[in-house]
Chains A and B, each alone.
Chain A
Amino acid sequence: MTVFWAVVRRDLLLAFRQGGGAGMAVAFFVVTVTLFPLGVGPEPNVLARIGSGVVWVSALLAALLSLDRLFQADLEDGGLDLLALSPEPLEIIVLAKCLAHWLSTGLPLILVAPLLGLLMGMSSAGIGGLVLAMLLGTPALSLIGAVGAALTTGVRRGGVLLSLLVLPLYIPVLIFGVSAVEAAATGLTARPHLLILAAMSLFTTVLAPLAAAAAVRLSME
Protein backbone atom coordinates (compact mmCIF):
# COMPACT_ATOMS: atom_id res chain seq x y z
CA MET A 1 0.00 0.00 0.00
CA THR A 2 2.91 2.38 0.67
CA VAL A 3 4.03 1.74 -2.90
CA PHE A 4 0.54 2.57 -4.17
CA TRP A 5 0.47 5.93 -2.41
CA ALA A 6 4.09 6.65 -3.26
CA VAL A 7 3.25 6.31 -6.96
CA VAL A 8 0.10 8.44 -6.61
CA ARG A 9 2.08 11.11 -4.81
CA ARG A 10 4.90 11.04 -7.34
CA ASP A 11 2.62 11.33 -10.37
CA LEU A 12 0.62 14.14 -8.77
CA LEU A 13 3.80 16.03 -7.93
CA LEU A 14 5.06 15.46 -11.46
CA ALA A 15 1.82 16.75 -12.98
CA PHE A 16 1.95 19.75 -10.67
CA ARG A 17 5.61 20.63 -11.26
CA GLN A 18 5.69 20.00 -14.98
CA GLY A 19 2.59 22.12 -15.35
CA GLY A 20 1.29 20.04 -18.24
CA GLY A 21 -1.38 18.24 -16.22
CA ALA A 22 -4.32 19.90 -14.57
CA GLY A 23 -3.90 23.43 -15.91
CA MET A 24 -3.64 22.32 -19.50
CA ALA A 25 -6.66 20.00 -19.36
CA VAL A 26 -8.83 22.62 -17.66
CA ALA A 27 -7.79 25.33 -20.09
CA PHE A 28 -8.53 23.05 -23.04
CA PHE A 29 -11.90 22.13 -21.53
CA VAL A 30 -12.88 25.77 -20.99
CA VAL A 31 -11.71 26.93 -24.41
CA THR A 32 -13.45 24.10 -26.27
CA VAL A 33 -16.77 24.65 -24.52
CA THR A 34 -16.50 28.42 -25.03
CA LEU A 35 -16.14 27.90 -28.78
CA PHE A 36 -19.67 26.52 -29.05
CA PRO A 37 -21.65 29.66 -28.15
CA LEU A 38 -19.42 31.48 -30.61
CA GLY A 39 -19.95 28.91 -33.31
CA VAL A 40 -23.61 28.05 -32.78
CA GLY A 41 -24.76 31.53 -31.80
CA PRO A 42 -25.98 32.85 -28.46
CA GLU A 43 -29.54 31.47 -28.73
CA PRO A 44 -30.20 30.33 -25.11
CA ASN A 45 -32.61 27.55 -26.09
CA VAL A 46 -30.17 26.01 -28.54
CA LEU A 47 -27.29 26.25 -26.07
CA ALA A 48 -29.29 24.74 -23.22
CA ARG A 49 -30.37 21.94 -25.57
CA ILE A 50 -26.82 21.00 -26.62
CA GLY A 51 -25.09 22.05 -23.37
CA SER A 52 -24.78 18.69 -21.66
CA GLY A 53 -23.46 17.03 -24.81
CA VAL A 54 -20.94 19.78 -25.45
CA VAL A 55 -19.60 19.72 -21.91
CA TRP A 56 -19.31 15.94 -21.91
CA VAL A 57 -17.61 15.71 -25.30
CA SER A 58 -15.15 18.43 -24.32
CA ALA A 59 -14.46 16.61 -21.06
CA LEU A 60 -13.68 13.39 -22.95
CA LEU A 61 -11.24 15.22 -25.19
CA ALA A 62 -9.62 17.07 -22.29
CA ALA A 63 -9.14 13.80 -20.39
CA LEU A 64 -7.32 12.41 -23.43
CA LEU A 65 -4.81 15.26 -23.54
CA SER A 66 -2.34 14.12 -20.93
CA LEU A 67 -2.98 10.39 -21.33
CA ASP A 68 -0.31 9.72 -23.93
CA ARG A 69 2.37 10.63 -21.39
CA LEU A 70 0.99 8.25 -18.75
CA PHE A 71 3.53 5.50 -19.46
CA GLN A 72 5.50 7.06 -22.31
CA ALA A 73 7.38 9.48 -20.05
CA ASP A 74 8.46 6.63 -17.78
CA LEU A 75 9.45 4.51 -20.75
CA GLU A 76 11.66 7.26 -22.13
CA ASP A 77 13.62 7.87 -18.92
CA GLY A 78 13.90 4.20 -18.01
CA GLY A 79 11.63 4.51 -14.99
CA LEU A 80 9.11 2.06 -16.41
CA ASP A 81 11.61 -0.80 -15.97
CA LEU A 82 12.00 0.06 -12.32
CA LEU A 83 8.25 0.46 -11.81
CA ALA A 84 7.78 -2.99 -13.31
CA LEU A 85 10.51 -4.40 -11.04
CA SER A 86 8.78 -3.29 -7.88
CA PRO A 87 7.83 -6.25 -5.68
CA GLU A 88 4.32 -4.79 -5.74
CA PRO A 89 2.27 -6.10 -8.73
CA LEU A 90 2.37 -3.87 -11.80
CA GLU A 91 -1.44 -3.81 -11.76
CA ILE A 92 -1.40 -1.92 -8.46
CA ILE A 93 1.10 0.58 -9.84
CA VAL A 94 -1.03 1.08 -12.96
CA LEU A 95 -4.08 1.65 -10.75
CA ALA A 96 -2.10 4.22 -8.76
CA LYS A 97 -1.16 6.01 -11.96
CA CYS A 98 -4.82 6.04 -13.02
CA LEU A 99 -5.84 7.53 -9.69
CA ALA A 100 -3.17 10.20 -10.01
CA HIS A 101 -4.33 10.93 -13.56
CA TRP A 102 -7.92 11.27 -12.39
CA LEU A 103 -6.95 13.51 -9.48
CA SER A 104 -4.84 15.74 -11.70
CA THR A 105 -7.14 15.80 -14.75
CA GLY A 106 -10.63 14.48 -14.00
CA LEU A 107 -11.20 16.26 -10.71
CA PRO A 108 -10.23 19.75 -11.95
CA LEU A 109 -12.59 19.26 -14.91
CA ILE A 110 -15.42 18.51 -12.51
CA LEU A 111 -14.62 21.64 -10.53
CA VAL A 112 -14.97 23.94 -13.55
CA ALA A 113 -17.89 22.03 -15.09
CA PRO A 114 -20.62 23.97 -13.19
CA LEU A 115 -19.22 27.21 -14.56
CA LEU A 116 -19.33 25.89 -18.10
CA GLY A 117 -22.84 24.56 -17.46
CA LEU A 118 -23.89 28.11 -16.58
CA LEU A 119 -22.21 29.40 -19.71
CA MET A 120 -24.26 26.97 -21.79
CA GLY A 121 -27.43 28.13 -20.04
CA MET A 122 -28.13 24.85 -18.27
CA SER A 123 -30.64 24.80 -15.40
CA SER A 124 -29.37 24.39 -11.84
CA ALA A 125 -30.87 20.90 -11.69
CA GLY A 126 -29.05 20.05 -14.89
CA ILE A 127 -25.78 21.36 -13.49
CA GLY A 128 -26.24 19.28 -10.35
CA GLY A 129 -26.79 16.24 -12.53
CA LEU A 130 -23.73 17.11 -14.59
CA VAL A 131 -21.43 17.28 -11.57
CA LEU A 132 -22.74 14.00 -10.16
CA ALA A 133 -22.51 12.27 -13.53
CA MET A 134 -18.95 13.50 -14.04
CA LEU A 135 -17.91 12.44 -10.54
CA LEU A 136 -19.13 8.93 -11.24
CA GLY A 137 -18.14 8.72 -14.90
CA THR A 138 -14.73 10.39 -15.23
CA PRO A 139 -12.83 7.68 -13.29
CA ALA A 140 -13.78 5.32 -16.10
CA LEU A 141 -12.25 7.78 -18.58
CA SER A 142 -8.85 7.67 -16.84
CA LEU A 143 -8.99 3.90 -16.50
CA ILE A 144 -10.05 3.12 -20.07
CA GLY A 145 -7.54 5.69 -21.24
CA ALA A 146 -4.77 3.93 -19.33
CA VAL A 147 -5.33 0.79 -21.39
CA GLY A 148 -5.00 2.81 -24.58
CA ALA A 149 -1.95 4.61 -23.21
CA ALA A 150 -0.31 1.31 -22.29
CA LEU A 151 -1.02 -0.15 -25.72
CA THR A 152 0.50 2.83 -27.50
CA THR A 153 3.54 3.07 -25.21
CA GLY A 154 6.64 3.05 -27.33
CA VAL A 155 4.69 3.82 -30.50
CA ARG A 156 5.88 6.86 -32.44
CA ARG A 157 3.23 9.56 -32.51
CA GLY A 158 1.13 7.30 -30.33
CA GLY A 159 -1.09 10.21 -29.25
CA VAL A 160 -3.25 10.08 -32.38
CA LEU A 161 -3.47 6.32 -32.29
CA LEU A 162 -4.41 6.58 -28.63
CA SER A 163 -7.35 8.86 -29.46
CA LEU A 164 -8.55 6.48 -32.14
CA LEU A 165 -8.34 3.55 -29.76
CA VAL A 166 -9.85 5.19 -26.73
CA LEU A 167 -12.56 7.55 -27.98
CA PRO A 168 -14.84 4.76 -29.27
CA LEU A 169 -14.56 3.13 -25.85
CA TYR A 170 -15.65 6.38 -24.22
CA ILE A 171 -19.03 6.26 -26.03
CA PRO A 172 -20.96 4.43 -23.28
CA VAL A 173 -19.75 6.94 -20.69
CA LEU A 174 -20.77 9.79 -22.99
CA ILE A 175 -24.26 8.34 -23.62
CA PHE A 176 -25.10 7.72 -19.99
CA GLY A 177 -23.38 10.89 -18.85
CA VAL A 178 -25.50 13.01 -21.16
CA SER A 179 -28.71 11.15 -20.40
CA ALA A 180 -28.11 11.61 -16.67
CA VAL A 181 -27.90 15.36 -17.19
CA GLU A 182 -30.97 15.43 -19.45
CA ALA A 183 -32.96 13.41 -16.93
CA ALA A 184 -31.96 15.71 -14.09
CA ALA A 185 -32.73 18.81 -16.16
CA THR A 186 -36.22 17.60 -17.13
CA GLY A 187 -37.07 16.70 -13.56
CA LEU A 188 -36.91 12.95 -14.05
CA THR A 189 -34.77 10.76 -11.83
CA ALA A 190 -31.14 10.54 -12.95
CA ARG A 191 -30.55 7.59 -10.66
CA PRO A 192 -30.46 4.73 -13.18
CA HIS A 193 -28.05 6.62 -15.42
CA LEU A 194 -25.81 7.51 -12.51
CA LEU A 195 -25.83 3.91 -11.33
CA ILE A 196 -24.74 2.71 -14.75
CA LEU A 197 -21.93 5.30 -14.78
CA ALA A 198 -20.81 4.10 -11.35
CA ALA A 199 -20.96 0.52 -12.58
CA MET A 200 -18.75 1.41 -15.54
CA SER A 201 -16.19 3.04 -13.26
CA LEU A 202 -16.17 0.05 -10.92
CA PHE A 203 -15.97 -2.39 -13.81
CA THR A 204 -12.99 -0.59 -15.33
CA THR A 205 -11.31 -0.23 -11.92
CA VAL A 206 -11.09 -4.00 -11.84
CA LEU A 207 -10.37 -4.77 -15.47
CA ALA A 208 -8.41 -1.82 -16.84
CA PRO A 209 -5.33 -2.25 -14.59
CA LEU A 210 -5.07 -5.89 -15.62
CA ALA A 211 -5.22 -5.04 -19.31
CA ALA A 212 -2.94 -2.00 -19.03
CA ALA A 213 -0.32 -3.88 -17.00
CA ALA A 214 -0.27 -6.67 -19.58
CA ALA A 215 0.19 -4.11 -22.35
CA VAL A 216 2.98 -2.34 -20.44
CA ARG A 217 4.82 -5.65 -19.98
CA LEU A 218 4.53 -6.26 -23.71
CA SER A 219 5.92 -2.83 -24.49
CA MET A 220 9.05 -3.60 -22.46
CA GLU A 221 9.95 -6.74 -24.37
Chain B
Amino acid sequence: MTFSGENLACLRGERIVFQNLGFELDSGGMLLLLGANGSGKSTLLRLCAGFLRPFAGRLLYDGVGITGRMAEHRGRICYAGHLDALKAVFTVSENLLFWARLSGGDENRLEEALDLFGLGPLADMPARFLSAGQRRRANLARLAMSRAPLWLLDEPTTALDQASCTRLFDLMERHRHAGGMIMAATHQKIESAGSTVLSLDDFAPVEEVF
Protein backbone atom coordinates (compact mmCIF):
# COMPACT_ATOMS: atom_id res chain seq x y z
CA MET B 1 0.00 0.00 0.00
CA THR B 2 1.48 3.31 -1.04
CA PHE B 3 0.17 6.82 -1.47
CA SER B 4 2.23 9.36 -3.28
CA GLY B 5 2.12 12.70 -4.96
CA GLU B 6 4.17 13.80 -7.93
CA ASN B 7 4.97 17.31 -8.95
CA LEU B 8 1.88 18.72 -7.28
CA ALA B 9 0.96 22.35 -7.61
CA CYS B 10 -2.08 24.03 -6.21
CA LEU B 11 -3.70 27.29 -7.15
CA ARG B 12 -5.96 29.10 -4.69
CA GLY B 13 -7.52 32.40 -5.65
CA GLU B 14 -5.08 32.89 -8.53
CA ARG B 15 -2.14 32.43 -6.16
CA ILE B 16 0.15 29.44 -6.27
CA VAL B 17 0.19 27.91 -2.80
CA PHE B 18 2.86 25.32 -3.48
CA GLN B 19 4.50 23.80 -6.51
CA ASN B 20 6.76 20.90 -7.48
CA LEU B 21 5.64 19.13 -4.35
CA GLY B 22 6.17 15.42 -4.11
CA PHE B 23 5.76 12.94 -1.30
CA GLU B 24 5.66 9.25 -0.75
CA LEU B 25 3.91 7.33 1.94
CA ASP B 26 4.25 3.60 2.50
CA SER B 27 2.22 1.20 4.52
CA GLY B 28 2.78 2.04 8.18
CA GLY B 29 4.20 5.43 7.35
CA MET B 30 3.39 8.84 8.66
CA LEU B 31 3.92 12.13 6.91
CA LEU B 32 3.98 15.24 9.06
CA LEU B 33 3.17 18.41 7.20
CA LEU B 34 4.91 21.40 8.70
CA GLY B 35 4.97 24.95 7.53
CA ALA B 36 3.95 28.49 8.30
CA ASN B 37 0.32 29.61 8.25
CA GLY B 38 -0.90 29.70 4.68
CA SER B 39 1.84 27.43 3.40
CA GLY B 40 -0.79 25.00 2.15
CA LYS B 41 -0.95 22.24 4.76
CA SER B 42 -4.74 22.10 4.79
CA THR B 43 -4.84 22.59 1.05
CA LEU B 44 -2.59 19.59 0.51
CA LEU B 45 -4.78 17.46 2.78
CA ARG B 46 -7.92 18.56 0.94
CA LEU B 47 -6.17 17.78 -2.31
CA CYS B 48 -5.39 14.29 -1.05
CA ALA B 49 -9.00 13.84 0.03
CA GLY B 50 -10.15 14.78 -3.45
CA PHE B 51 -12.03 17.93 -2.47
CA LEU B 52 -9.68 19.96 -4.63
CA ARG B 53 -8.09 19.08 -7.89
CA PRO B 54 -4.36 19.69 -8.33
CA PHE B 55 -3.43 22.44 -10.75
CA ALA B 56 -0.54 20.31 -11.87
CA GLY B 57 0.88 16.92 -10.96
CA ARG B 58 -0.95 13.84 -9.78
CA LEU B 59 -1.76 11.71 -6.79
CA LEU B 60 -1.19 7.98 -6.92
CA TYR B 61 -2.52 5.25 -4.72
CA ASP B 62 -0.68 1.97 -5.17
CA GLY B 63 0.84 3.51 -8.25
CA VAL B 64 -2.54 4.23 -9.85
CA GLY B 65 -3.74 7.80 -10.36
CA ILE B 66 -6.78 8.70 -8.25
CA THR B 67 -8.40 10.92 -10.87
CA GLY B 68 -11.41 9.11 -12.23
CA ARG B 69 -11.33 6.62 -9.37
CA MET B 70 -12.76 8.90 -6.75
CA ALA B 71 -15.44 6.51 -5.49
CA GLU B 72 -12.75 3.97 -4.66
CA HIS B 73 -10.46 6.62 -3.22
CA ARG B 74 -13.15 8.06 -0.91
CA GLY B 75 -13.52 4.67 0.75
CA ARG B 76 -9.84 4.67 1.69
CA ILE B 77 -9.89 7.98 3.54
CA CYS B 78 -10.74 9.10 7.01
CA TYR B 79 -10.54 12.89 7.12
CA ALA B 80 -10.58 15.05 10.24
CA GLY B 81 -10.55 18.74 9.41
CA HIS B 82 -10.68 21.96 11.40
CA LEU B 83 -14.41 21.65 11.99
CA ASP B 84 -15.70 18.96 14.28
CA ALA B 85 -18.69 17.81 12.20
CA LEU B 86 -20.91 17.35 15.23
CA LYS B 87 -24.62 18.07 15.16
CA ALA B 88 -25.48 20.08 18.26
CA VAL B 89 -28.80 18.31 18.88
CA PHE B 90 -27.39 14.81 18.54
CA THR B 91 -25.64 13.02 21.36
CA VAL B 92 -21.99 12.13 21.04
CA SER B 93 -22.75 8.49 20.27
CA GLU B 94 -25.45 9.39 17.74
CA ASN B 95 -22.98 11.61 15.95
CA LEU B 96 -20.30 8.91 15.95
CA LEU B 97 -22.65 6.14 14.86
CA PHE B 98 -23.94 8.20 11.96
CA TRP B 99 -20.47 8.93 10.63
CA ALA B 100 -19.43 5.32 11.07
CA ARG B 101 -22.44 4.14 9.09
CA LEU B 102 -21.85 6.76 6.42
CA SER B 103 -18.21 5.94 5.86
CA GLY B 104 -18.42 2.19 6.30
CA GLY B 105 -16.82 2.22 9.74
CA ASP B 106 -17.21 -0.38 12.43
CA GLU B 107 -20.26 0.50 14.52
CA ASN B 108 -19.40 -2.16 17.10
CA ARG B 109 -16.33 -0.22 18.11
CA LEU B 110 -18.36 2.69 19.46
CA GLU B 111 -17.69 1.82 23.13
CA GLU B 112 -14.01 1.39 22.45
CA ALA B 113 -13.80 4.71 20.60
CA LEU B 114 -15.62 6.56 23.37
CA ASP B 115 -13.42 5.04 26.09
CA LEU B 116 -10.29 5.76 24.14
CA PHE B 117 -10.94 9.48 24.27
CA GLY B 118 -12.50 9.48 27.71
CA LEU B 119 -15.93 10.26 26.30
CA GLY B 120 -17.75 7.43 28.07
CA PRO B 121 -19.58 9.68 30.55
CA LEU B 122 -20.48 12.11 27.75
CA ALA B 123 -21.85 9.48 25.36
CA ASP B 124 -25.49 10.51 25.84
CA MET B 125 -24.84 14.22 26.12
CA PRO B 126 -26.03 16.41 23.22
CA ALA B 127 -22.96 17.76 21.46
CA ARG B 128 -23.96 21.37 22.08
CA PHE B 129 -22.91 21.04 25.74
CA LEU B 130 -19.36 19.94 24.91
CA SER B 131 -16.30 22.11 25.32
CA ALA B 132 -13.95 22.76 22.41
CA GLY B 133 -11.57 20.02 23.53
CA GLN B 134 -14.39 17.54 24.07
CA ARG B 135 -15.79 18.32 20.63
CA ARG B 136 -12.38 17.72 19.11
CA ARG B 137 -12.09 14.41 20.97
CA ALA B 138 -15.54 13.37 19.74
CA ASN B 139 -14.45 14.16 16.20
CA LEU B 140 -11.21 12.19 16.59
CA ALA B 141 -13.08 9.23 18.04
CA ARG B 142 -14.31 8.65 14.47
CA LEU B 143 -10.79 7.51 13.67
CA ALA B 144 -11.04 4.65 16.13
CA MET B 145 -14.15 3.36 14.33
CA SER B 146 -12.85 3.88 10.83
CA ARG B 147 -11.69 1.08 8.58
CA ALA B 148 -9.98 3.44 6.16
CA PRO B 149 -6.27 2.86 5.61
CA LEU B 150 -5.38 6.50 4.99
CA TRP B 151 -5.94 9.10 7.70
CA LEU B 152 -5.80 12.75 6.79
CA LEU B 153 -5.59 14.84 9.94
CA ASP B 154 -5.63 18.61 9.92
CA GLU B 155 -4.03 19.90 13.12
CA PRO B 156 -5.58 17.12 15.18
CA THR B 157 -4.08 18.32 18.46
CA THR B 158 -5.82 21.72 18.44
CA ALA B 159 -7.72 22.26 21.71
CA LEU B 160 -6.56 18.89 23.08
CA ASP B 161 -5.05 18.60 26.55
CA GLN B 162 -1.81 16.70 27.11
CA ALA B 163 -3.51 13.46 28.15
CA SER B 164 -5.75 13.45 25.07
CA CYS B 165 -2.78 14.19 22.84
CA THR B 166 -1.03 11.13 24.21
CA ARG B 167 -4.12 9.01 23.58
CA LEU B 168 -4.32 10.33 20.04
CA PHE B 169 -0.66 9.55 19.40
CA ASP B 170 -1.17 6.02 20.76
CA LEU B 171 -4.09 5.55 18.40
CA MET B 172 -2.03 6.82 15.50
CA GLU B 173 0.81 4.42 16.41
CA ARG B 174 -1.63 1.51 16.50
CA HIS B 175 -3.03 2.48 13.11
CA ARG B 176 0.48 2.51 11.68
CA HIS B 177 1.34 -0.84 13.24
CA ALA B 178 -1.74 -2.26 11.57
CA GLY B 179 -0.33 -1.06 8.25
CA GLY B 180 -2.27 2.20 7.94
CA MET B 181 -0.96 5.49 6.64
CA ILE B 182 -1.27 8.93 8.16
CA MET B 183 -0.83 12.42 6.83
CA ALA B 184 -1.05 15.03 9.54
CA ALA B 185 -0.71 18.77 9.35
CA THR B 186 0.71 19.99 12.60
CA HIS B 187 2.48 22.81 14.36
CA GLN B 188 3.42 20.67 17.29
CA LYS B 189 6.19 18.26 16.40
CA ILE B 190 4.90 14.73 16.87
CA GLU B 191 7.74 12.47 17.95
CA SER B 192 7.28 9.17 16.24
CA ALA B 193 9.69 6.62 14.89
CA GLY B 194 9.74 6.29 11.15
CA SER B 195 7.73 9.38 10.39
CA THR B 196 8.82 11.73 7.65
CA VAL B 197 8.53 15.47 7.75
CA LEU B 198 7.40 17.45 4.76
CA SER B 199 8.05 21.14 5.14
CA LEU B 200 5.69 23.01 2.87
CA ASP B 201 7.74 26.17 3.06
CA ASP B 202 10.23 24.46 0.72
CA PHE B 203 7.65 24.32 -2.04
CA ALA B 204 6.43 27.88 -1.87
CA PRO B 205 6.63 29.59 -5.25
CA VAL B 206 9.72 31.67 -5.75
CA GLU B 207 8.83 35.33 -5.52
CA GLU B 208 9.18 36.92 -8.89
CA VAL B 209 11.07 40.18 -8.74
CA PHE B 210 10.30 42.69 -11.42
Contact = CB atoms under 8 A, between A and B. Distances in A.
Interface residues of A, number: 24
Contacts of B120: none
Contacts of B39: none
A78 B51 CA distance: 13
Interface string B77-95: 1010111111111100000
Interface string B12-56: 000000000000000000000000000000000000011111000
Interface in A27-79: 76-79
A87 B89 contact: no
Chain B's interface size range is 20 to 34
9 contacts: A13-B90, A82-B79, A82-B103, A85-B50, A86-B102, A86-B104, A87-B74, A221-B51, A221-B53
B129 interface: no
B61 interface: no
A131 interface: no
A24 B88 CA distance: 19
B71 interface: yes
B203 interface: no
Interface in B91-113: 98-99, 101-104
Interface stretch (A3-11, A144-152, A190-198, A204-212): A3-11
Contacts, number: 67
Given A82-B103, A85-B77, 14 more contacts: A2-B101, A10-B90, A10-B98, A14-B87, A18-B89, A78-B83, A78-B85, A82-B102, A83-B102, A84-B74, A85-B74, A85-B79, A220-B51, A221-B51
Contact of A81 (B81, B87, B101, B104): B81
A78 B71 contact: no
B205 interface: no
A82 B51 contact: no
Is chain B's binding surface mostly helix, strand, loop or mixed? loop
A208 to B, nearest CB: 20
B75 interface: yes
Given A7-B102, A18-B89, A86 B82 contact: no
Interface of A: 2-3, 6-7, 10, 13-14, 17-18, 76-79, 81-89, 220-221
B152 to A, nearest CB: 9
Contacts of A81: 49, 51, 79, 81, 83, 85
A10 to B, nearest CB: 5
Contacts of A2: 101
B52 A79 contact: no
Is chain A's binding surface mostly helix, strand, loop or mixed? helix
A86 B49 CA distance: 11
A85 B103 contact: yes
A10 B79 CA distance: 20
Interface centre among A2, A85, A221 (most CB of B within 10 A): A85
A18 B127 CA distance: 13
Contacts of A85: 49-50, 74, 77, 79, 103
A78 B103 contact: no
A206 to B, nearest CB: 19
Contacts of A17: 89-90
A81 B139 CA distance: 13
B71 to A, nearest CB: 7
Contact of A82 (B53, B89, B99, B104): B99
Nearest to B101: A6
Interface string B175-191: 00000000000000000
Contacts of B89: 14, 17-18
Contacts of B75: 87
